[in-house]
Structure 1
Amino acid sequence: EKEANLTYHLIFPFLMTRVLHNQIWISVSRYRTAKGKNRIVDKGIDFEQVDRESNWDDQIILNGILLYLTNMIMPGASHLPLWRSDGFIIVILLHTGPVEFLYYWLHRALHHHFLYSRYHSHHHSSIATEPITSVIHPFAEEVAYFLLFAIPLMTVMFTGTASIAAIFIYITYIDLMNNMGHCNFELVPKWVFSTFPPLKFLMYTPSYHSLHHTQFRTNYSLFMPMYDYLYGTVDKSSDDLYETSLKRQEESPDIVHLTHLTTTDSIYHLRLGFASLASKPYAFKWYFTIAMWPVSCWSAVFTWFYGHTFVSESNTFNNLKLQSWVVPRYTMHYLLQREKKDLNYLIEEALLEADSKGAKVVSFGLLNQHEELNGNGELYIQRHPQLRIRLVDGSSLAAAVVVNSIPQETTQVLLTGRISKVGYAIALALCQKGVQVAAMNEDEYQKLQHSDCQFGKNLVLAENYDQKIWLVGEGLTDKEQLKATKGTVFVPFTQFPPKKLLKDCYYHTTPAMVAPKSLDNIHSCENWLARRVMSAWRVAGIVHGLEGWNVHECGQ
């Protein structure tokens, strides 16, 4: 009875371990492919693929249901010991023989045009694979695979040689090999095969299975290529691709966008985090925050001590290689005066690294270019005048996006919050166009009046708040926002969007632009922005690189 309870109660923890195992593979694969080292296929991933593969955990849920039912119904599936050597050997032999053999011929049959068009084409829709691509199949195909993998497990149960270790290790082995075969970077070192040459027939590599997704008619084997060798379906370029992928070095970016974490939940919304969350605009969910708070706390502690930026995303556009690097700090760190020195050190280190890798442009995202932190990036130019890279704060493009989003017939706007470099540029452009700009804050109004810019008579101090367009800067309070009249349009010129307190008003997103279709490998959202929408600050760096401008665009 005690052993039966152990078997039953271990199923759920085992399922959670499988989820964690798969998530680790997803994160590591996305990190490695973003850096480019040992990457196999260069084709990008899109949102369609992410959506198609978002139900990867369904097979774990189905597997869990079957394990519970089997444990309760089958006599040989309960009261299992932790370990039995004979059962473990039987599982190995049955997988190597019947399972691999039957899978090979089932797989070849699935590539017949009748079955391929109705079933297997769904799996092959992903040319550039991710670890979770391995379990994305139509339901009928999933059932067929479950029946195949059940052969060793059912055999040991019927023969009374089953053990908890044999069942859990076998399922973990299937997960491991599935994830490895679809991770899109080569990780099996050459010494493995040189030390034990027959292993070449008993274990495939990521590049070996990747060829099946690009060539379709070769490399059909499950995990052991021996049946491909036996029946002559090995792709002739398997060894060459393996060698080439192992030799491939980390990519050097042309343009780097330097961003940072925002809330403690934002780490899950990174491309390296949860794929389904990263593919949607960030939105606070209280239940998710509560459920994940232990992990969030540990990640916050880890980022406090981790002292190096990391690559989170890579894209290509017009032969330019783009990368997004993340400073491992949250927004709360940028608001603490004592963190200023540490933040500048991390940013400077990233700039010098990008410079050493031959990058042409670095654009500053979010608070990495805050005026109080580094004077909109001017600090780094003063400290490192020998920098070959060009620094871009994106203020000009951000201001242009805001100005062009205001309707032509507008005659007056209200300028709220603290006035940044972008705010100055917007106010000046609107005043020169004949639009009256009313400043809500008297201190900010005086700063504008005493600046070198010629605002003329169109800059005034606000006497009321009935303007229908509010330009929102940093520090707009809830009390001030509640003064807006019905139908007011809030247009932020900040890096962060304002709170949406009024249901009868309209809120624009932060300055941003839609990415062209030729910009490849976009499958995650930039913070709260919609799909394939990029912040103006990020776009500014790309434009700077495309135009080949040899000047900095930052500072005061």
Structure 2
Amino acid sequence: MGAAFLASWPWDNLGFYKYVLYAPLVGKAVASRAWEAGSPDRWILLLLLLVALRALTYQLWTSFSNMLFATRRRRVVRRGVDFHQIDREWDWDNFLILHALMAAAALYALPALRRLPLWDARGLAVALLAHAAAVEPLFYAAHRALHASGRLYARYHALHHASAVPQPFTAGLATPLEHVVLGALAALPLAAAAAAGCASVGLAFAYVLAFDCLRAMGHCNVEVFPGELFQAVPVLRYIMATPTYHAIHHTKRDANFCLFMPLFDLLGGTLDHHSWEMQKQTSAGVDEVPDFVFLAHVVDVMQSLHVPFVLRTFASTPFSVQLFLLPMWPFAFLVMLAMWGWSKTFVISCYSLRGRLHQIWAVPRYGFQYFLPFAKDGINKQIELAILRADKMGVKVLSLAALNKNEALNGGGTLFVNKHPDLRVRVVHGNTLTAAVILNEIPAGMAEVFLTGATSKLGRAIALYLCRKRVRVMMMTLSSERFQKIQKEAPPESQQYLVQVTKYRSAQHCRTWIVGKWLSPREQRWAPPGTHFHQFVVPPIIGLRRDCTYGKLAAMRLPKDVEGLGACEYSLERGVAHACHAGGIVHFLEGYKHHEVGAIDVDRIDVVWEAALRHGLRPA
């Protein structure tokens, strides 16, 4: 059986190069200097501008939809958008190309439309009347027909309903045939205004952008209308479809077929009468209490753009600096300054594991700020407020990310536990699992390792663990006092395996380096060819040696039953979390009642590792 007519996009195989389809319009605009007032092809520039504004409309609504710190209480479908949905909607803007080509063809066929005035107020009244009298009922009939026929639904409309969580980009997820029909319907009011002699450029922009704005709003999955509005003016219920109203259609599929006006569902007998009660409840806000919170922080200005409410698709891929980010840098820098002044922890992502809600919160502090002496108290205050907020909400475990548990900052979290001994939320630095991941990367039978950052929290635990296994550990430290203190913690029969070194040249014959302190290019030169650099330093060292290999920061792949995860954690792959994040998850899943702060309990490294594997986490 052949493919259904117009069920797939002709340029599917072009990928990013599909935007070449705009090239004829762009080329014609440049060749004819369309930006000049007297240019006969000025309409091309206006058409391209309209396409750009349409794309911006959907992007802004998508950003709003994913601002969980502002919208999480009013979400209709309370699930996260996962990677499968993001990939399915990756080419959501295909319809913009199609509609641009349709509009260009119409304007070439009807030259009179290229010479419309900028504005004619009469056209707005004609367009609104044509929309209510023609577009709404025709859309309702076509939409209902797609659902009524199993064959049509399977071939065309099932794709749109494949997205479990409505998003503004979901509005663009449809087959070419559906968008041809939608584009033709949207052109009807403009054609009516042209026939009445009152069409204008302003009307085209106003109607099309309003059409897009309402479609994006209906799919945004955040209730934007106060429930009291429909109680005060009941007739509005049948004039304006709300995000709740449309979300019901995505979950039930046999009700609420209208475009923007529920009046036609009422007339057609397909109105879900629970819509308004559900809308009232959603608009009032529904509190969600996560069981687990990972308290992250921003790395730098560029990485701050790697969040779902900036560019959803970019956030769903491992972070790397891209050219398209450069124009956004000044704005991101201003936001950084504003966040520094605002200083309020915010929710950036959420997912579900074993049916329990997990959230990622972020402290509005950037990496470099953690190393400013005068910022220490302010950062600790923000972390403390986040912990107290989680405790008040009923969160069970809060895990601290990298710099939020810095030893010099707060003693690996001990500051907060000692200050608030009655905390119900368990505060976890997750470094026990981080140590376990690093140690399990080291090949069995290794006789000697070189360790930098040897007297840090992780360095100490790694050294003590390895010396028990009779592995010689060269601990790079200038402090004999700190070295001797760690050495005395080792069993008497194992102390001989801990050796203090003060120069990198001491490791010139050791091919296993465990890096907990940043290495300069000169320091890396002491490693012999074939060395592998295991790392727990933030930020990771730069891999400069071609004759050596470099490990990534300790991380684990999350269990397969994670739901709603749609953002990558910094530069890690999809579904992979930093080991400290994963360590907090294990703490929660195991139901441990203790805080995991301060020094790492070496005896628990194997216990936590085995628990992680038992719960389905795997080394990344």
Question: TM-score band (shorter)?
Answer: over 0.9
| Alignment match, 1:448 | 483
TM-score (norm 2): 0.83
1:247 deviates by 4.1
State yes or no: 1:476 paired with 2:519.
yes
Identify the range of structure 1 (158-167 vs 85-94) with the bigger mean alpha-carbon deviation.
158-167
| 2:494 counterpart of 1:459 | no
Q: Distance in 2 between matches of 1:69 and 1:261?
A: 47
Residue 23 of structure 2 corresponds to none
Q: 2:567 aligns with which of 524, 529, 535?
A: 524
Alpha-carbon separation, structure 1, partners of 2:278 and 2:366: 40
Taking the aligned partners of 1:3 and 1:224, their CA distance within structure 2 comes to 41
* Post-superposition CA distance 1:83-123 (Å, at most 9, x none): 21211111111111211111112112222222222221111
Q: What amino acid sits opposite 2:497 in the alignment?
A: N
Pick from 589, 603, 606: which aligns with 1:546?
A: 589
Q: What amino acid is the match of 2:585?
A: I
Decide whether aligned partners of structure 1 residues 157 and 448 sit closer, same or farther in structure 2, where only a CA change above 3 A counts. Answer: farther
Q: In structure 1, how many angstroms separate the alpha carbons of the residues matched to 2:42 and 2:145?
A: 41
CA change 1:61–1:263 in 2 (3 A) is farther
Whether 2:516 is the aligned partner of 1:487: answer no
Task: Kindly provide the CA deviation profile for residues 418-445 of structure 1, in whole angstroms up to 9, marking residues without a partner as x.
Answer: 6420121112111111222223x34267
| Shift in Å, 1:370 | 0.8
Matched, 1:324 2:360: yes
Distance 1:186 1:354, change over 3 A: same
Counterpart in the other structure of 1:350: 386
Query: Secondary structure of 1:327's partner?
Result: strand
Are 2:226 and 1:226 equivalent residues in the alignment?
no
What code does the residue aligned with 1:322 have?
A: H
Identical residues among aligned pairs (%):
37
Give the secondary structure class of the aligned counterpart of 2:351: strand
Change over 3 Å in CA distance of 1:260–1:360 after alignment to 2 = same
Matched, 1:508 2:544: no
Quote the residue 1:262 is aligned against.
Answer: 299
CA separation of 1:446 and 1:69: change in aligned 2, threshold 3 A: farther
Within 5 Å, give how 1:302-451 maps onto structure 2: 302-417=338-453, 419-439=455-475, 441-443=476-478, 447-451=482-486
What CA distance in whole angstroms lies between the structure 2 residues aligned with 1:53 and 1:485?
48
2:176 matched to 1:139? yes
8 Å contact kept, 1:7–1:80: no
Counterpart position of 2:320:
283
**Distance in 2, Cα, partners of 1:337 & 1:450:** 27
Deviation digits for residues 29-55 of structure 1 (CA, Å, limit 9, x no counterpart): 123499641222234432111111122
Aligned mate of 2:239, from 198, 202, 210: 202
TM-score scaled by structure 1? 0.92
For residues 35 and 385 of structure 1, the distance between their equivalents in structure 2, rounded to whole angstroms, comes to 33
How far did residue 487 of structure 1 move? 3.2
Name the structure 1 match of 2:7: none
Structure 1: distance between partners of 2:100 and 2:59: 17
Name which of structure 1's ranges 352-361 and 189-198 shifts more when overlaid on structure 2: 189-198
- CA displacement at 1:63 relative to structure 2: 4.1
Identify which range, 218-227 or 450-459, moves more after superposition.
450-459
* Residue 254 of structure 1, CA deviation: 2.1
Q: Quote the Cα distance in structure 2 between the aligned partners of 1:46 and 1:349.
A: 30
Q: Tell me which of 226, 230, 233 is aligned to 1:193.
A: 230
Instruction: Please tell me the residue identity of whatever aligns with 2:317.
Output: K
Q: 1:245 to 1:33 in 2, by over 3 A?
A: farther
In structure 2, the CA distance between the partners of 1:17 and 1:539, relative to structure 1 (3 Å rule), is same
Residue segments in structure 1 that go unaligned for 5+ positions in a row: none
Residue 307 of structure 1 aligns with an amino acid whose one-letter code is S
Q: How far off is 1:315 after superposition?
A: 2.0
Q: Provide the rounded CA distance (Å) in 2 between the counterparts of 1:238 and 1:408.
A: 62
Q: Contact 1:490–1:507 (CA<8 Å) still a contact in 2?
A: yes
Q: 1:265 to 1:65 in 2, by over 3 A?
A: farther
Q: Is 2:198 the counterpart of 1:161?
A: yes
Question: What is the deviation of 1:402?
Answer: 1.0
- In the superposition, relative to structure 1, how do residues 99 and 444 fare at CA in structure 2: closer, same or farther (>3 Å)? farther
Could you tell me how far 1:530 is from its partner in structure 2?
0.8
- Structure 1 window deviating more from structure 2 (289-298 vs 95-104): it is 289-298
Cα gap change, 1:151 to 1:482, in 2 (>3 Å): farther
RMSD: 2.5
Tell me how far apart the structure 2 counterparts of residues 141 and 337 of structure 1 sit (CA, whole Å). 59
- Please give the secondary structure, in 2, of the residue aligned with 1:359: coil
Cα deviation 1:501-538 (Å, max 9, x = unaligned) = 23443332211111112222111111111111111111
Within the candidate set 250, 254, 263, 1:213 is matched to 250
In structure 1, what residue type is equivalent to 2:237?
K
User: Relative to 1, partners in 2 of residues 1:218 and 1:448: Cα closer, same or farther, differing over 3 Å?
Assistant: same
Tell me the SS of whatever aligns to 1:413: strand
Q: CA deviation at 1:360?
A: 2.0
CA contact (8 A) 2:396 2:424 kept: yes
Q: Within 2, Cα distance between the matches of 1:177 and 1:383?
A: 50
What is the one-letter code of the residue matched to 1:449?
Q
Q: CA 1:271 to 1:381, structure 2 compared with 1: closer, same or farther past 3 Å?
A: same
Distance 1:379 1:511 in 2: 25
Q: Answer with 237-246 or 426-435: which moved more.
A: 237-246
Corresponding residue SS for 2:66:
helix
Paired position in structure 1 for 2:541: 498
Q: Which amino acid aligns with 1:456?
A: Q
Q: 2:213 aligns with which of 169, 172, 176?
A: 176
In structure 2, relative to structure 1, the CA distance for the partners of 1:34 and 1:116 (3 Å cut) is farther
Deviation string, structure 1 residues 124-183 (Cα, Å, up to 9, x no partner): 111221121111112232222111111122333454322233212212222221122112
